[in-house]
Structure 1
């Protein structure tokens, strides 16, 4: 059997877009436990069943694998912070997040688009993970959209789609902030530097159109900035992206820390790139929606 590169396999799995859940239970003394999981699936309607996968490296693996009941909260758009707490925070996670309890006394996350209460029916060993099968004993759900996750980044299709509604009189431009090893790819325009960009005749599905234009060169991530640049009569959408090994885009790789000293094509693009440099230092990226002068920021990762 040919050896498998775990990093490459993880990247391949990462191309599958998923939702984000928080799985919860209580330990034998009654203390709440929870972790973030995107390996979640419905299994059966009759009887109603679902599954989640938990890594054997999880500190609470043994408790979840033997619990009598657990719950799954499907996170909503805007709950990136909840996901991050249950993915990495080492202290009292439940003290930081609004939550309630289901009929079994298991914590459930406030604001989730769906909450499932489960009786554990089976724990199945599967390589370096355990498949937790649960029979659903109760559930609630709302009308909102769930938080998405792909290639190591959160995404929000509802917000992204709503923001891409375009005035048909404007030019439609989509760009990508292509990152590689602490550098970002920029191209030279008559007025200064800018991210690689393409002009489209109609808005349509800009994400799919960009992926087609950039095929083989980058892995497209979350939308990063969606705004109307009124002085240039342009509707501008910019995505985060990672360069692939076969990246064939032309341009100049600039150290991200040098962005502040560059001249850019327009003030709006300058503001976008300088915000990217600032947020890159903390990896706390936000989606900007508005115009060249003002707008709102929404956490995306």
Structure 2
């Protein structure tokens, strides 16, 4: 036993940014099993070894602890639904996700950026998990960007690099700062807007934004990019991030209930649409990253795992 707070420790572990994998196997009676994991690591090149750590809470735990073969599928950008299916779906997961079988009948997830077919090299108990070490017998890979996970949220390096695509005269960087069921906004003569700053160094957007908001008395955890768009009329590039406050609003900010966001007047139509979308998505904690311009664009899933 330990005196450490398990929930706080899990949150601290979650600060480490990882990829997302789906681990699969087949039981002796032919049943296909799979689970989502970010506890994955390469171990050795000679012999070629990797490891994953299935938790004892899994309904299929014993199947993986005892398996002789398994596969690890590294998910690609845009495969959040695949991750969620193998994390929580209670039915036939493989019927929901396109897959093919390797030479030994182990499922490989279609579209994964890397697939490793393995024989079990060693299986060791480790607290409330099992360390499953596999020797890679076959693998595939692609150049597609991968899906990332940190702090309870998915992220994509491919999508978030769009934040750094600075093509206009000025970059406005802001944060949608959540605190309980409210969002911090600042009021201007033209209407409300998220707290924001004008920045020049495109390589320091997140760091400079966090430092600027801290100077205004707002201590926060900055999360994934939420909305990235160009305003051609103002020759301005906008980048807004999700964030969680650790306390009261900073100087010049006020807390507004999320449900009331669509009723306010905002500085621009683009910000009004962004805040209305946030109000809707906050109900389910299923957020998306908007990429486009001030009038039209696409929303890419950034579903928050809990």
Point out the more displaced range, 123-132 or 30-39. 123-132
Aligned twin of 1:35: 35
Matched, 1:78 2:56: no
Give 1:275 deviation, angstroms. Answer: 0.6
* Corresponding residue number in structure 1 for 2:117: 117
**What is the aligned partner in structure 2 of residue 178 from structure 1?**
177
Query: Residue 277 of structure 2: SS of its match in structure 1?
Result: helix
Structure 1 residue 257, shift from structure 2 partner: 0.5
Q: Deviations over 1:192-220 (max 9, x none)?
A: 11111111023224233334444681111
Computed over aligned residues only, the root mean square deviation of the Cα atoms, in angstroms, reads 1.7
Task: Give the structure 2 partner of residue 165 of structure 1.
Answer: 165
Indicate how the Cα distance of structure 1 residues 229 and 119 shifts in structure 2: closer, same or farther if over 3 A, else same: same
Secondary structure, aligned partner of 2:299: strand
Residue matched to 1:234: 236
Aligned residue pairs total: 300
C-alpha contact (below 8 Å) 2:176/2:195 kept by paired residues: yes
Conserved? CA contact 2:289–2:301, under 8 Å: yes
Is contact 2:116-2:136 (8 Å) kept?
yes
Deviations 1:227-250 (A, max 9, x none): 012333321101111112487565
Other-structure match for 2:150: 150
- Aligned mate of 2:221, from 219, 222, 230: 219
The Cα of 1:163 is off from its aligned counterpart by 4.7
The answer for the alignment partner of 2:281 in structure 1 is: 279
> If the length of structure 2 is used for normalisation, what is the TM-score?
0.93
Q: 1:298 aligns with which of 280, 283, 300?
A: 300
Matches within 5 A, 1:190-205: 190-205=189-204
| Residue matched to 1:139 | 139
The whole-number CA distance in structure 2 between the counterparts of 1:151 and 1:251 is 25
Deviation at 1:142, TM superposition (A): 0.6
* Structure 2 residue matching 1:137: 3-state secondary structure: strand
Q: Secondary structure at the match of 2:54?
A: strand
Unaligned runs of 5+ in 2: none
What is the DSSP-based 3-state SS (H/G/I as helix, E as strand, rest coil) of the residue aligned with 2:265?
coil
Of 247-256 and 225-234, the range deviating more from structure 2: 247-256
TM-score by length of 1: 0.95
CA distance in 2 between counterparts of 1:102 and 1:63 reads: 18
CA contact (8 A) 1:218 1:247 kept: no
1:103 and 2:92 correspond:
no
Aligned counterparts of 1:8 and 1:250: Cα–Cα separation in 2: 31
**Conserved? CA contact 2:168–2:237, under 8 Å:** no
1:208 matched to 2:207? The reply is: yes
Change (3 A) 1:2 1:41: closer
39-48 or 234-243, which deviates more: 234-243
Tell me by how many angstroms 1:284 deviates.
Answer: 2.1
CA distance in 2, matches of 1:185, 1:242: 10
1:296 shift after superposition: 1.1
